Amino acid sequence: MGGKNLPIIALDFPDIETAWDFLSRFDGEKLYVKVGMELYYREGPELLHFLKEKGHWIFLDLKLHDIPNTVHRAMKVLAGLSVDMVNVHAAGGTEMMKAALSGLEEGTKAGQTRPALIAVTQLTSTSEEQMQREQLINRTIDESVLHYALLARESGLDGVVCSAFEAASIAKKAGSGFLRVTPGIRMTGSKSDDQKRVVTPTKAREMGSSMIVIGRPVTQADNPVLSYKKVLTEWER
Ligand SMILES: O=c1ccn([C@@H]2O[C@H](COP(=O)(O)O)[C@@H](O)[C@H]2O)c(=O)[nH]1
């Protein structure tokens, strides 16, 4: 199975020791992992090189959101970190997203593959009610997510982070090759934590997500390998 078809495991750990302790349980299996702010801010680029050496695929989830020039320059740097996917917040706008893409292209060395660039639409921890009240968006959350997805598409990005609830409409309007990367994945009966727009791996597949991201249900499980295998089986079926 190629990396693109694997569930992405969110390595939300405080340091490399804890992350390594978790990964060592998988006995050399190649995984698609997500490195977020907590682990990256602690361990930096060295950790990414270490994960690559072990053969893992990497989504570097730093969710850049700043003025276009700053994001452009930061993306030039991230392009050199041998990661497979990076992201920005679509709320930064089309000028920022285009700047992110050109930075990534400029930073990608000849002969190397440019990391995929995706945009966060509405976080899966955001409910429609919260979005309307706090962001003053007088629309449904589906409309807001689709709007951001189309801005990301127009900016030349490779896809978006969205919940499974919006995945089908995005595929219909932006094309099936435009990635719908879905966090907020939970197994039947398990707690949602801070996530609001949650589905099972089976539902995510049926509803049109192209990739899924799962953290705590795997990383905090008594048997993380078994939990991962259950997610993988549901996702593959
Ligand atoms: O909209 C978003 C964007 C990113 N995430 C990240 O995915 C994982 C989910 O972890 P769980 O433990 O499975 O909830 C986490 O690293 C988030 O930063 C997201 O959840 N939603």
Is 104 annotated as ligand-binding? no
Domain boundaries, given as residue ranges, for the chain: 8-235
- At 135, the pLDDT band (50, 70, 90 cuts) reads very high
66 is catalytic: yes
Give the 3-state secondary structure of 42-62: HHCHHHHHHHHHCCCEEEEEE
Cα 184 to averaged position of ligand 1 atoms, centre (Å): 6
Is residue 194 within 8 A of residue 181, CB to CB? The reply is: no
- Asked if residue 141 has pLDDT above 60, the reply is yes
pLDDT given at position 237: 81
Is 34 annotated as ligand-binding? yes
pLDDT given at position 2: 60
15 is catalytic: no
**Pocket lining: 120 vs ligand 1, CB cutoff 6 Å:** yes
Choice among 67-71, 226-230, 233-237 with the minimum mean pLDDT: 233-237
- Asked if residue 154 has pLDDT above 70, the reply is yes
Q: At 57, list the tokens.
A: 């695929």
CA distance 55 to 34: 14
Quick one: DSSP state of residue 92?
G
Chain mean pLDDT for the chain: 97
Residues 6+ apart with CB under 8 A from 133: none
Q: What is the mean pLDDT of residues 118-126?
A: 98
CA distance 45 to 49: 7
- At 68, the pLDDT band (50, 70, 90 cuts) reads very high
Q: What is the mean pLDDT of residues 129-141?
A: 98
Q: What is the mean pLDDT of residues 9-22?
A: 98
Residues 6+ apart with CB under 8 A from 78: 60, 62, 86, 104, 107, 115
What stretch of H or E contains 147? helix 141-154
Of ligand 1's listed atoms, the one at least distance from the Cα of 34 is 16
CA distance 212 to 203: 11
Which phi-psi region, left, alpha or beta, contains residue 45 (left: φ > 0; alpha: ψ -120 to 50)? alpha
- Asked if residue 1 has pLDDT above 70, the reply is no
Q: What is the mean pLDDT of residues 143-171?
A: 98
- At 3, the pLDDT band (50, 70, 90 cuts) reads confident
Is residue 201 within 8 A of residue 234, CB to CB? The reply is: yes
**Pocket lining: 204 vs ligand 1, CB cutoff 6 Å:** no
- Tokens 């598409």 appear where? 153
CA distance 95 to 155: 8
Q: What is the pLDDT of residues 81-104, one digit of tens each?
A: 999 999 999 999 999 999 999 999
**Percentage of the chain exceeding pLDDT 90:** 97
**Percentage of the chain exceeding pLDDT 70:** 99
CA distance 163 to 125: 10
pLDDT given at position 4: 82
Q: What is the pLDDT of residues 184-208, one digit of tens each?
A: 999 999 999 999 999 999 999 999 9
Q: What is the pLDDT of residues 41-58, one digit of tens each?
A: 999 999 999 999 999 999
CATH architecture for segment(s) 8-235: Alpha-Beta Barrel (3.20)
SS3 34: strand
